[in-house]
Amino acid sequence: HCFNDVRYIEDNQRVIGGSEVARNSWPWQISLQYLSGGSWYHTCGGSLIRANRVLTAAHCVDTVTSYRVVVGDHNIYQNDGTEQYISVSRIVQHANWNRNNVAAGYDIAVLHLASSAALNSYVQLANLPADGAVLAHNYACIITGWGKTSNNGSVASVLQQAPLPVVAHATCSTGSYWGSTVKSTMVCAGGDGVRSGCQGDSGGPLNCPVNGVYQVHGVTSFVAAAGCNTYLKPTVFTRVSAYIGWINANI
């Protein structure tokens, strides 16, 4: 999945430079899985925003296939005893999403689930930011996902997290960073050349603490084709606060 210098990070790749999370410490994180040859495979992350709605990236659900969402998961390769498996009944991608032009933005989708998840200590709803909220440069956020833990690695079995400071749009849109590829409807984070999102993290959350509560400020969208943790190429997220109206209209 390459577009010029942009690479999506779904399929089977993950957080680089991260660490295993404490069990179910991110209870709104979901695993989006697709059916192939009778087996289910992790392809993307997502955030549970209603008991029967998931926020993810549009590029995660471009392929016509059967999808399911796993909530309450920790290790995607074993039974933790806390999982709930729910099929996706309807996919709502942003009408302006163009899979051939990820740089235009709109990499956002809401998944309708066939049934509601039972909320408990392992399964909680994500908090979304205020409409239009923009975080300051170097704001401390955390990416979570089951993506690859190295550029050529395999998917993580246990959910990973890594600190990714926000890179302000004014900086991220300069030539030494992402230039005009990054729009104001996106949020950049990371770029230290060590920690980043990677394939398998797409659609998942950029979690940022606001007033003591984590909010999902980003939906993981793309990284540099040269490598997930490329210096001065921060992980790029759909900025959730730019789409609050769209989310509310399509939920």
pLDDT in tens, 9-40: 444 344 777 888 888 899 999 999 999 999 99
Least confident of 14-28, 186-200, 204-218: 14-28
Is 1 one of the annotated active-site residues of the chain?
Answer: no
Is residue 202 annotated as part of the catalytic site, yes or no?
A: yes
Please report the pLDDT score of residue 148 as a whole number: 79
Rounded to whole angstroms, the Cα distance separating 167 from 187 reads 7
Mean pLDDT for all residues in the chain: 92
Give dist(CA 176, CA 195) in Å, integer.
Answer: 18
Q: Does domain 27-113 have CATH number 3.40.190.150?
A: no
Specify whether the CB–CB gap between 9 and 229 falls below 8 A.
no
Catalytic residue among 47, 173, 196, 202: 202
Q: What is the pLDDT of residues 41-54, one digit of tens each?
A: 999 999 999 999 99
- Pick the catalytic residue: 11, 42, 59, 221? 59
Question: When comparing pLDDT for 174 and 200, which is higher?
Answer: 174
**pLDDT exceeds cutoff 80 at 224:** yes
Distance CA 240, CA 242 (A): 5
Domains 27-113 and 139-240 share a fold: yes
Other beta carbons within 10 angstroms of residue 237's beta carbon come to: 29
pLDDT at site 89: 98
Q: Where are the beta strands (DSSP E) in 27-159?
A: 29-36, 39-50, 53-56, 67-71, 84-93, 109-113, 140-145
Classify domain 139-240 at the CATH topology level: Thrombin, subunit H (2.40.10)
| Per-residue confidence (pLDDT) for residue 13, from 0 to 100 | 40
Tell me whether residue 25 is one of the annotated catalytic residues: no
Retrieve residue 39's tokens.
Answer: 């087996």
Q: Name the active-site residue from 31, 47, 74, 107.
A: 107
Q: How far apart are CA 107 and CA 220, in angstroms?
A: 9
Question: How far is Cα 217 from Cα 183, in angstroms, rounded to an integer?
Answer: 15
Residue 14: its pLDDT value, please?
Answer: 47
User: In the block, which residue shows the tokens 């990677």?
Assistant: 198
Task: State pTM to two decimals.
Answer: 0.93
Instruction: Report pLDDT for 116.
Output: 99
Domain ranges of the chain: 27-113, 139-240
Residue 155 burial by Cβ neighbours in a 10 Å radius (0-12, 13-18, 19+) = buried
Element (H, E) at 169: helix 169-172
How many CA atoms lie within 13 Å of 251's alpha carbon, on the beta-carbon side?
15
The residue-averaged pLDDT of 169-182 equals 97
Rounded to an integer, the average pLDDT of 154-171 is: 92
The total of other beta-carbon atoms located within 10 Å of residue 119's CB is 14
Q: Say which residues have a Cβ less than 8 Å from residue 2's Cβ, sequence separation at least 6.
A: 225
Block residue for tokens 């392992």? 122
pLDDT of residue 150: 78
Element (H, E) at 3: strand 2-3
Non-local (6+) Cβ contacts of 226 within 8 A are 5, 233
Task: Please tell me the least confidently modeled range out of 59-68, 72-81, 206-215, 220-229.
Answer: 220-229
